[in-house]
């Protein structure tokens, strides 16, 4: 028979081997557990939305995948009006606008799902066309306390601390401070988006290049240089706040006051000083943000860039509802993060199987006994696999080793005759013999004694 | 501003409120935990595959959603050659064929993901265009023990027992028995698919209609009636096996022997007699199956139909590789199941929030204290939300009630002056006062005393 080549589509190719998938799922579990620790509620939204919903804000059409039917079909809205979501924020806005009366506000939601973007895939940068986002947002009606802006980075801290991927720093800034600075530097209103985009590149590009772009946007040479220096200078949080304290611009003063309060509350929420910094070079390109903005970096791997970003915005769903819905949120691009962590060797080895114990089946006369042993172990909550095929003990143990089981349960004619069972710790290769009645306890003891095999 | 109507696409509309999503996630957790209890390994595959991969088997083109770009784009394989998967079996076949050398066999995988089918959506039948499937399969090279065919229904039993959705019955049959019967009844080879499709409707349609179809397929009247009676008769497992024991057809004898062994091993794997039955009316339309086949029904809700189906097949990936890969698996259509369980009132009420405790913020002077209280509770692993907005105590407690918190932590000027804290059990409405140093212990005690509020 003519075979079809089993292959993936470019950019739709982040597919893992089972032991990698276990590591990925472990990160998802850590994220989810911490989101729930802070009382965020789960939602999922459909993969495809109405095209007019996705494009309501404009400027994203060129990255969107639309659906169509492979064969002709009548009456399928999805194929004529549907497209895959490119982020989780637009679906959230649509969701809240649709269900405003059924939700309790402040609405705290988390969402961990795939999104699709027709960007050019670059594995080196961790950029793919299909990837996971893990988002939290706090949304309220009409007003939103600055405390929400402090709580969001405390969740981020909690997530990455438990992930144990090395030292990280949450860098925060405030959009009002940035806007105030632009006013101070007399950047015309219609140039401020352009200037912010330039400042967003301060960490990646050379000083001369940035200054040149600022000059091109209309700043005289001296202020352009001073603005660059102000943004790019490396200071600690105290120094930055002190320097900003000199500013007299009203927006700036307001933004600095917000930053001070957010920083104070972050401390009360348990985020240690070393884990965050006020940093003026955090700009976040999007117009959307109006208050605190965040980025997060691994201290030892600045090249990875931000692993978690977000900010405060004034109105989530203005395209869908008259209700003003201010909010604050962050997003973890998990597929990219996983790819980068894996490349940098920062993922802790985990067991290669969720099962801990394997029951080897040495002698076909005792199949019933092997199955019953597994049933007893599973009833005690021990993840257990029985080797179901006929194979030599040696081959069964090689399989156990390859899949990373921690304990093997071994019994043959001799053991069954004496109502005993052999328990082999596959980490230490030590085997002990126990009465069959003590099976569960013996396996549990061996598991406590052994470490997951990566 | 002109608003866009926030709405969903027909068939892409199974979107839940947070408390429903929590229930859905609970079912996913039960499924996943039980799959792992039996040592199945997780995989996920990309949403979009190459079209030639999806259509390799043929006959499915008319249900497939292909991808296209909303705006013109160069060099995007996904948009010219990609389509969304319609099940998890074809991606599994592609996965195993691609990674044959990297996988350990027998390969036991689970996969819980969305699939997309351009069928006509019918909410009444629980049929949607986007839905979750939860699959397990055991695949080996060249040969596969009948024990795998017994283990699969034992996993199904374990899942639905823990789901606690009422009495259910796993109905099993064997494709060889069915084929043998067709030989016995002298159904010509080229009519057997048609006859199997007819027999698949035995439970749904009237006897006369079935017999008529069998006659149309070439059976004389008397044998058609006898075949119908044999398939449709209600007997228990012992009676069915006894009746089949009379058959002398070779395929039948082999199939009955397999059924006997599978039934015996299921018992050894802990599946009680009452939870399964050999039932000749289980047919499963697909040609694909070659051994044991399964369906699962809720005893009190036969109208829901099968909630979990599957079977044994001889070759998973013949379109992609020369290696023969026999396997056995089942699939739970979770979106449909959830919709049906919800309709039938079979979902146990769960808490409406993953957070257990709420810290109310009565007095703005003590914000630091409230945040620190929450930080202490979270450090002890208690999911905690702080009410971050300014609002009257009454309104905060109304919010707590609406979201289903179990415990409220209350403190104001008096409490803080005495270093005390009030813990209110929101189930019983009972409040107790404790020294602040005993905060964590007191909240834990109140949680142990309270039940989740649905």
Residue B210 in any domain: the answer is yes
As a whole number of angstroms, the distance between CA B7 and CA A95 comes to 8
Confidence of residue A189 (pLDDT cuts 50, 70, 90): confident
Task: Specify the CATH number for the domain of residue B439.
Answer: 3.40.50.800
Q: In A, which residues are within 8 Å of B38 by CB distance?
A: 355, 378, 383-385
Residues A63, A156, single domain; the answer is yes
Q: Does the pLDDT value for residue A266 go beyond 60?
A: yes
- Contact state of B78 with A50 under an 8 Å Cβ cutoff: no
- The HSE-up count of residue B289 (CA atoms within 13 Å, CB side) is 28
| Among the partner residues A12, A39, A76, nearest to B82 by beta-carbon distance | A12
**For chain B, the helix, strand and coil percentages under 3-state DSSP, each to the nearest 5:** 45, 20, 35
Q: Render A329-388 in DSSP notation, one character per residue.
A: EEEEEHHHHHHHHHHTT-SPP--SSS--EEE----GGGHHHHHHHHHHHHHTT--EEE--
As a whole number of angstroms, the distance between CA A199 and CA A280 comes to 9
Give the nearest chain A residue to B83 (CA atoms).
Answer: A70
Could you tell me which of B359, B415, B356 has the C-alpha nearest to residue B388? Answer: B359
Residue A454 in any domain: the answer is no
Residues A236, A333, single domain; the answer is yes
As a whole number of angstroms, the distance between CA B286 and CA B89 comes to 13
- CB contact at 8 A, B223 and B286: no
As a whole number of angstroms, the distance between CA A291 and CA A188 comes to 20
- Contact state of A51 with B42 under an 8 Å Cβ cutoff: no
Residues B378, B322, single domain; the answer is no
Could you tell me which of A36, A130, A35, A47 has the C-alpha nearest to residue A90? Answer: A47
Residues A380, A287, single domain; the answer is no
- CB contact at 8 A, B379 and B396: no
Residues A334, A420, single domain; the answer is no
Termini Cα distance of chain A: 39
- Contact state of A9 with B70 under an 8 Å Cβ cutoff: no
* Complete edge-to-edge strand list for the sheet that includes strand B276-278: B41-42, B107-116, B130-139, B327-333, B309-313, B289-298, B168-174, B276-278
Residues B307, B425, single domain; the answer is no
Could you tell me which of A90, A98, A92 has the C-alpha nearest to residue A57? Answer: A90
**What per-residue confidence (pLDDT) applies to B173?**
97
> pLDDT: is A29 or B287 the higher one?
A29
**What per-residue confidence (pLDDT) applies to B452?**
61
Q: How many CB atoms lie within 10 A of CB A348?
A: 12
Q: Does the pLDDT value for residue A230 go beyond 70?
A: yes
Residue B279 in any domain: the answer is yes
Domain boundary among A320, A343, A366: A343
Domain boundary among A343, A370, A404: A343
Residues A147, A34, single domain; the answer is yes
Task: Specify the CATH number for the domain of residue B73.
Answer: 3.30.930.10
- CB contact at 8 A, B135 and B92: yes
Residue B38 in any domain: the answer is yes
Phi, psi torsion values for B219, nearest 5 degrees? -80, 140
| A13 contacts chain B (CB < 8 A) | yes
User: What are the CA-CA distances from residue B19 to residues A102, B15, B334 (Å)?
Assistant: 11, 12, 17
| Among the partner residues A73, A269, A388, nearest to B371 by beta-carbon distance | A269
3-state DSSP assignment of residue A437: helix
Residues B66, B189, single domain; the answer is yes
As a whole number of angstroms, the distance between CA B164 and CA B159 comes to 9
Residues A336, A392, single domain; the answer is no
| Among the partner residues B37, B79, B320, nearest to A65 by beta-carbon distance | B79
Residue A257 in any domain: the answer is yes
**What per-residue confidence (pLDDT) applies to A279?**
94
| B30 contacts chain A (CB < 8 A) | no
Residues of chain B short of pLDDT 50, as ranges, are none
Could you tell me which of B124, B290, B284 has the C-alpha nearest to residue B203? Answer: B284
Question: In chain A, pLDDT over 70 holds for what percent of residues?
Answer: 98
Q: Does the pLDDT value for residue A365 go beyond 70?
A: yes
| Among the partner residues A143, A318, A378, nearest to B1 by beta-carbon distance | A318
Residue A1 in any domain: the answer is no
What single-letter DSSP state applies at residue A303?
Answer: G
Q: How many CB atoms lie within 10 A of CB B372?
A: 18
Strands B384-386 and B130-139: unpaired
Could you tell me which of B122, B254, B72, B126 has the C-alpha nearest to residue B181? Answer: B254
Number of domain units in chain B: 2
Residues B166, B271, single domain; the answer is yes
Give the nearest chain A residue to B32 (CA atoms).
Answer: A354
B25: its two tokens: 């996630």
Residues B364, B330, single domain; the answer is no
**What per-residue confidence (pLDDT) applies to B150?**
98
> pLDDT: is A366 or B123 the higher one?
A366
**For chain A, the helix, strand and coil percentages under 3-state DSSP, each to the nearest 5:** 45, 20, 35
- CB contact at 8 A, A426 and A417: no
Residue B203 in any domain: the answer is yes
- Contact state of A21 with B12 under an 8 Å Cβ cutoff: no
Phi, psi torsion values for B328, nearest 5 degrees? -150, 140
Q: Does the pLDDT value for residue A453 go beyond 90?
A: no
Q: In B, which residues are within 8 Å of A378 by CB distance?
A: 37-38, 158, 270
Residues A100, A188, single domain; the answer is yes
Q: Is the dihedral of CA B231, B237, B241, B242 positive or negative?
A: negative
Average the pLDDT over A173-192 and give the result.
92
Domain boundary among A343, A366, A385: A343
**What per-residue confidence (pLDDT) applies to B124?**
86
- Contact state of A78 with B65 under an 8 Å Cβ cutoff: yes
Q: Does the pLDDT value for residue A411 go beyond 70?
A: yes
CA distance A112 to chain B (A): 12
Average the pLDDT over A297-305 and give the result.
92
- Contact state of B67 with A62 under an 8 Å Cβ cutoff: no
Residue B379 in any domain: the answer is yes
| Among the partner residues A68, A73, A78, nearest to B12 by beta-carbon distance | A78
- Contact state of A70 with B67 under an 8 Å Cβ cutoff: no
Structural domain boundaries, residue A154: 18-343
Interface of B with A in 84-103 (CB under 8 A): 84, 93-95, 97-99, 102-103
Could you tell me which of B394, B407, B398, B268 has the C-alpha nearest to residue B351? Answer: B407
3-state DSSP assignment of residue A213: helix
Give the nearest chain A residue to B46 (CA atoms).
Answer: A12
Confidence of residue A316 (pLDDT cuts 50, 70, 90): very high
Q: Render B371-397 in DSSP notation, one character per residue.
A: HHHHHHHHHTT--EEE--S---HHHHH
User: What is the residue-averaged pLDDT of chain A?
Assistant: 94
Could you tell me which of B385, B368, B235 has the C-alpha nearest to residue A38? Answer: B385
**What per-residue confidence (pLDDT) applies to A104?**
94
Best B2, B3, B6 member to test A by mutation, with max A CBs in 10 Å, is: B6
Name the burial class of residue B57, with classes exposed (0-12), middle (13-18) and buried (19+) by CB atoms within 10 angstroms of its CB.
middle
**What per-residue confidence (pLDDT) applies to A449?**
83
As a whole number of angstroms, the distance between CA B320 and CA A270 comes to 54
Give the nearest chain A residue to B84 (CA atoms).
Answer: A67
CB contacts < 8 A, A to B, total 343
- Contact state of B39 with A379 under an 8 Å Cβ cutoff: no
Could you tell me which of A56, A279, A265 has the C-alpha nearest to residue A174? Answer: A279
ipTM: 0.95
Interface of B with A in 250-279 (CB under 8 A): 264-265, 268-270
**What per-residue confidence (pLDDT) applies to A452?**
61
Interface of A with B in 293-312 (CB under 8 A): none
As a whole number of angstroms, the distance between CA A46 and CA B377 comes to 35
- ∠ CA B315-B320-B326 to the nearest 5 degrees? 15
CB-based burial, A185-222: b 16+ in 10 Å, e otherwise: bebeeebbebbbebbbebbeeeeeebbebbeebebeee
């Amino acid at each position: 028979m003519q075979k079809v080549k089993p292959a993936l589509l470019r950019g739709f190719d982040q597919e893992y081997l089972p032991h990698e998938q276990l590591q990925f799922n472990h990160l998802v579990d850590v994220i989810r557990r911490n989101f729930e620790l802070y009382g965020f509620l789960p939602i999922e939204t459909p993969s495809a939305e109405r095209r007019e919903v996705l494009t309501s804000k404009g400027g994203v059409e060129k990255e969107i995948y639309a659906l169509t039917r492979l064969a002709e079909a009548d009456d399928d809205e999805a194929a004529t009006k549907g497209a895959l979501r490119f982020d989780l924020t637009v679906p959230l806005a649509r969701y809240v606008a649709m269900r405003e009366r059924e939700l309790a506000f402040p609405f705290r939601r988390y969402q961990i799902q795939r999104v699709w973007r027709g960007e050019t895939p670059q594995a080196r940068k961790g950029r793919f066309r299909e990837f996971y986002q893990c988002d939290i947002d706090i949304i309220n009606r009409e007003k939103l306390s600055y405390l929400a802006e402090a709580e969001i980075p405390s969740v981020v801290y909690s997530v990455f601390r438990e992930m144990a991927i090395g030292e990280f720093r949450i860098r925060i800034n405030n959009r009002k401070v940035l806007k105030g600075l632009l006013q101070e530097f007399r950047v015309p209103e219609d140039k401020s988006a352009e200037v912010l985009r330039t400042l967003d590149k301060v960490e990646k590009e050379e000083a001369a290049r940035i200054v040149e772009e600022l000059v091109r946007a209309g700043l005289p040479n001296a202020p352009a240089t001073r603005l660059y220096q102000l943004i790019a200078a490396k200071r600690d949080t105290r120094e930055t706040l002190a320097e900003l304290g000199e500013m007299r611009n009203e927006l700036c003063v307001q933004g600095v006051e917000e930053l001070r309060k957010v920083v104070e509350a972050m401390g009360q929420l348990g985020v240690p000083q070393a884990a965050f910094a006020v940093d003026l070079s955090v700009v976040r390109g999007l117009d959307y943000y109006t208050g605190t903005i965040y980025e997060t970096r691994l201290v030892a791997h600045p090249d990875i860039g931000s692993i978690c970003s977000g900010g405060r915005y004034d109105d989530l769903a203005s395209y869908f509802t008259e209700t003003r819905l201010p909010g604050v949120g962050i997003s973890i691009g998990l597929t990219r993060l996983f790819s980068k962590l894996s490349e940098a060797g920062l993922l802790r080895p985990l067991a290669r199987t969720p099962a801990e114990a394997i029951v080897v089946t040495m002698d076909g006369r005792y199949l019933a006994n092997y199955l019953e042993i597994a049933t007893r172990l599973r009833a005690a909550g021990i993840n257990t696999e029985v080797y179901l095929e006929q194979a030599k003990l040696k081959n069964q143990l090689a399989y156990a080793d390859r899949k990373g089981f921690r304990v093997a349960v071994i019994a043959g004619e001799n053991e069954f005759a004496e109502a005993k069972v052999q328990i082999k710790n596959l980490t230490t290769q030590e085997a002990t013999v126990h009465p069959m009645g003590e099976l569960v306890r013996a396996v549990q003891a061996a598991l406590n004694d052994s470490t997951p095999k990566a």
